[in-house]
A and B are shown apart, each in its own frame.
Chain A
Amino acid sequence: MGIKRRKFLQLTGLTAAGTMLSSCGKGTEKLIPFLIPPDDGSIPGVANYFASACRQCPAGCGILVRVAEGRAKKIEGNPLHPVNKGKICARGQAALQDLYHPDRVRQPMKRVGAKGSGEFTPISWDEGLSLLLEQLNDLKKQGHADRLLFMTPRLQGTLSELVWSFMSVYGSPHHLAYEMLNTESYEQANVAVCGRGDVPDYDLEKTQYLLSFGADFLETYLSPVRYGNAFGKMRQSRPTIRGAFTYVGARMSMTAASADRWLPVNVGQEGVLALGMARLILEQGLYSREMVKNVEGNPEVWMKKLSDYDLHSVAERTGLAPEEITSIARDFATIQPSLALVGDSVVFQSNGQDAVQAIQFLNLLVGNVGQPGGLLFCSPPVGQGSTSSFANLLSKVDALERDEFHLALVYRTNPVHGLPSAIRFQEAFKRVPFVVSFSSIMDDTAMHADLILPDHTDLESWGDVVPWVGAHSQVTGILQPVVNPLYDTRSFGDVLLAAARGLDGEGEKVLPYKNYLDMLKQRVQRLIDGSSDTASEKNWVEILQRGGLFEQEEAVLDVPQKKGVSPVPVREPYFEGNKEAYPFHLALFASPVIYDGRNAHLPWLQEMPDPMTTAVWGAWVEINPKTAESLGIKHGDLVMVESTQGSVQVPAVIFPAIRPDTVAIPMGQGHHGMGRYADKVGVNPLGLLAPVMDKEHVLPAWGATRVRLTRISDKGDLTVMGHPEGSYRGELLEI
């Protein structure tokens, strides 16, 4: 034998080391990098935690990312962050799969096939940027700068500033920050009732009686982790008090499942219930005298205004028993502090604005506004960009139809999937000659693009996040790259700054930043002391370690200043489709798992059972057992759901907790594109929605569509994790 034992061990040692190294990817082929520790100070086998912020939904929680050997391993909540307090939801944790998604756009791409075919060819960043600049400069040279449309979600902080400055330098007023689950309606109502245009925070933790009108605050509404945490405290953290919770709505959502009492009210009559309760509270003199004085109200005048809302007619309109209404009205007024929330299923009705105002009036009446355990209006968050109005969206669609836009930039929003086709956006959008997408995954909108300049994913980016609600103090979460970019992608901020520099004109003067990080640091310094210097390195590192700027002192609570408030009658809701041909209300709801569809490409979430139905990998329609029986529909059957607008085929789930005259479908599935885990999984129900709106306030009514059901076959291709019959054997577990 030529090999001695010593030689053999040396060889195997080297081979083993070589194998380990070769599995580490780029840049570590040689032995040297392991003998000399890497620059970032990481030690093999020891994990580091980096603080950052979550952008999976607008809540803006703080996160800690566990990084080992240069790779992100796990996302945990940041305990220092005042919004989520160390907790994080399923969607936030799944952002890891956003980073490591196998179907990410790995370099800039140029369309080669027909529009919408999804055929692209990789190009270099130089070519990509010059294509973008060519388009921008051409348009500007022709004097048509206003033919640029910029579509984003509601932006925050530095990004909001950047896009605003870019658009003003370029000379186009057409920045559309609109997504389907828009908060415009709440803001309008709050102005009318409380005199404040921002979304208030709800102090669930301290409340004793919680009444939710369709607000799914534990799953998708505003800030689910914050409210989930507060809900736990409301229930069990006080020695002698267990906060009570009643839910009003046509469908039992995951949030409603946690309620002590579920009241399946007639669709669109939530506002009537609120006014009926208000009248009972006035009649019995249970209102807050102090609040009446504050707003200079007159209970006698209010009583007269509510003359149509006597118990009998309210019971008839809402479909609830009179005893139920009196008991919740009494509880709401006498168990203090109490709190009424209002959510999307109420807001998106043709009388949604009236209902929100009625419910906020109810809060006002018993003194819930501005008191602990109630609605809190704090100093408005600095850096929260504004959302576009529905009217603005409609005018943009009209302009698209008149071919007024020659160039569209789309960042972090997926309107081709996420807007109801009834407003004709999708067809109109196809007319734009040149579309640039900054998406990091080939989503439905990117499929229609001509140029894709892929952004980093959140875990590779710099950025700042201003939480939507829930911070009683000024909070800005800072996003930092926790791993090196995996692919040849570039930060959207840097690309836009480069574009501004390349513009013929004043781009450089208005946006004089070296890069996006520089701009971010300057903004942070402004937040700290109002100066325009870049944050000093020491400060900056400390902020990064904490995960952002969290001003800890309790903010002053504002008591409503608006005088002369009075209840506004609730109009009868309008529904599209007549009752005979289309007998069922269609309730679309944001999926607790994939929200409005932005998280549909993440396999952990696709395989996480929907809480109420335990369904995975798809969409379904929820039908009351009696209704299903009368139509001959069984669990898992394929059903056609038709409205005046269109139809979808979707499996049926027999759902015991939905009104017999209502059916519900989750939003978010049915993508065309968005990677292997979302593409053609389930159906997108937005095509069913009729273009009903509240004409007076120009607000959409996505809950105002009626549908009919037809059984097609028994092959619905429904996958549920729970056994349909086992679901009814709770007594086995003694719960």
Chain B
Amino acid sequence: MSMKDTDKKERAVKYKWGMVIDLDRCTGCGACVVACHAENNVPFVGKELSGYGRAMHWIRIERYWEGEYPHVRARFIPVLCQQCNNAPCEPVCPVYASYHNAEGLNAQVYNRCVGTRYCANNCPYSVRVFNFFEPSFPEPLDQQLSPDVTVRTKGVMEKCTFCIQRIRRAKETARLDGRAVRDGEIQPACAQTCPPDAIIFGNLADPKSRVFRFSKSPRRFRLIEDLGTDPSVIYLKGGGHEHVR
């Protein structure tokens, strides 16, 4: 098969990346948070800047309290970029740094970004983080930095990419083999590490994929869905007393 044919075949495959997070499995342990830091060269900022709300986590575990002692419950919900199909962050960028790619990702072009922070301001999920300062990786911590991902500089907005470097790698491999990307072949760092397997990633355009099947679960909901953002991240409701027996 010539390269041209494989290219054609690859173009014929439709990808729409999506994620399902099962809150009944999620234990709030935070393994995903550190996995994301390691995979994506996300800097740490220290206590003072964290206090100003400038910590750079691309994924965070929100914790909600419900009820009062002794009938109190805590809920965990991992929040990352929801990769909205109608993304509020995109139309406000004056330099088209925030745009929508053909596979449903809200991509961020770092070298277009001029740091207006309009996108973060417009994001209802607060998942965009801004480099207020030059990130610091005191030697030799910089040796850990992944060569697959850039280190963003001061004045640049950044956010979850669904580990686009892993998506690219898998697509390249698949193209060389003359096939489509297999279901489960791509795992973002958070899904790969998640001890209770709460995160499922895959192609929502493929009705046979695991992520598609789970996205139709009766437990499904999406974050602040009534805003009409049409997120690609689908949550499955956690359990409660009502589920027991």
Binding site for B on A (CB under 8 A): 45, 68-69, 71-77, 84, 86-90, 93-94, 96-97, 99-102, 218-219, 224-225, 228-229, 231-233, 235-236, 242, 244, 252, 254-255, 257-258, 260-262, 264, 335, 486, 592-593, 603-609, 611-614, 616-618, 624-626, 656-660, 681, 719, 721-722, 727-730, 732-735
Contacts and interface: CB of A to CB of B under 8 A. Distances in A.
A639 B117 CA distance: 38
Contact of B25 (A76, A235, A733): A235
A456 B23 CA distance: 40
B31 A681 contact: no
A727 B237 CA distance: 18
A73 B225 CA distance: 37
Contact of A257 (B45, B47, B76): B76
A69 B194 contact: no
B155 interface: no
Nearest to B56: A607
B12 interface: no
B55 A721 contact: yes
Contact of A88 (B31, B61, B198, B243): B31
B245 interface: yes
Contacts of A100: 140-144
A410 B239 CA distance: 47
Contact of A728 (B64, B146, B245): B64
A232 B77 contact: no
A235 B38 contact: no
B193 A656 contact: no
Interface in B11-43: 22-25, 27-31, 33-35, 37-39
A45 B147 contact: yes
With most chain B CB atoms within 10 A of its CB, the pick from A71, A614, A729 is: A71
Nearest to A45: B147
A94 B44 CA distance: 13
Contact of B50 (A262, A616, A626): A616
Interface string B123-159: 0000000000000001111111111000000000000
Contacts of B145: 73
B184 to A, nearest CB: 12
Given A93-B193, A257-B28, A607-B45, A657 B223 contact: no
B75 A730 contact: yes
Contacts of A604: 34, 37-38, 44
B5 interface: no
Rank and list the top 9 A-B pairs by shortest CB-CB distance, nearest first: A232-B196, A228-B195, A730-B64, A617-B47, A257-B74, A232-B25, A90-B34, A102-B138, A611-B28
A345 B52 CA distance: 35
A20 B55 CA distance: 31
B51 interface: yes
B29 A228 contact: yes
Contacts of B74: 252, 257, 612, 657
B47 A719 contact: yes
A261 B139 CA distance: 47
Contacts of B69: 264, 624-626, 656-660
Given A100-B141, A611-B63, A624-B69, A681 B195 contact: no
Given A89-B29, A90-B31, A75 B65 contact: no
Contacts of A611: 28-30, 61, 63, 76
A236 B144 contact: no
Which of A84, A100, A224, A614 counts the most chain B CB atoms within 10 A? Answer: A100
A593 B31 CA distance: 10
B65 A656 contact: yes
17 contacts: A72-B143, A73-B145, A88-B193, A93-B193, A218-B27, A232-B195, A252-B72, A260-B240, A260-B243, A260-B244, A261-B241, A335-B245, A607-B45, A616-B55, A658-B69, A660-B69, A722-B63
Given A244-B245, A616-B55, A656-B65, A254 B47 contact: no
Interface string B46-64: 1100110001010011111
B207 interface: no
Given A75-B38, A252-B74, A604-B44, A735 B27 contact: no
A611 B62 CA distance: 8
B111 to A, nearest CB: 19
Contacts of A609: 30, 33, 60-61
A69 B196 contact: no
B114 interface: no
Given A260-B241, A727-B64, A254 B193 contact: no
B109 interface: no
Contacts of B61: 609, 611
Contacts of B177: none
A473 B73 CA distance: 38
Contacts of B103: none
Contacts of B28: 254, 257-258, 611
Contacts of A255: 27
Nearest to A615: B50
B176 interface: no
Contacts of B237: 735
A733 B45 contact: no
Contacts of B138: 102
Nearest to B222: A734
B56 to A, nearest CB: 9
Contacts of A257: 28, 63, 73-76
A618 B30 contact: no
A733 B240 contact: no
Contacts of B68: 625, 656
B234 to A, nearest CB: 13
Given A68-B147, A232-B196, A732-B224, A727 B63 contact: yes
A335 B75 CA distance: 25
A660 B72 CA distance: 13
B224 to A, nearest CB: 7
A719 B29 contact: no
B22 to A, nearest CB: 6
Contact of B195 (A68, A73, A87, A242): A87
B141 A102 contact: yes
A94 B144 CA distance: 11
A74 B39 contact: yes
A733 B50 CA distance: 24
Nearest to A618: B47
Nearest to B193: A88
Contact of B38 (A96, A264, A613, A658): A96
A681 B140 contact: no
A719 B50 contact: yes
A90 to B, nearest CB: 4
Nearest to A261: B241
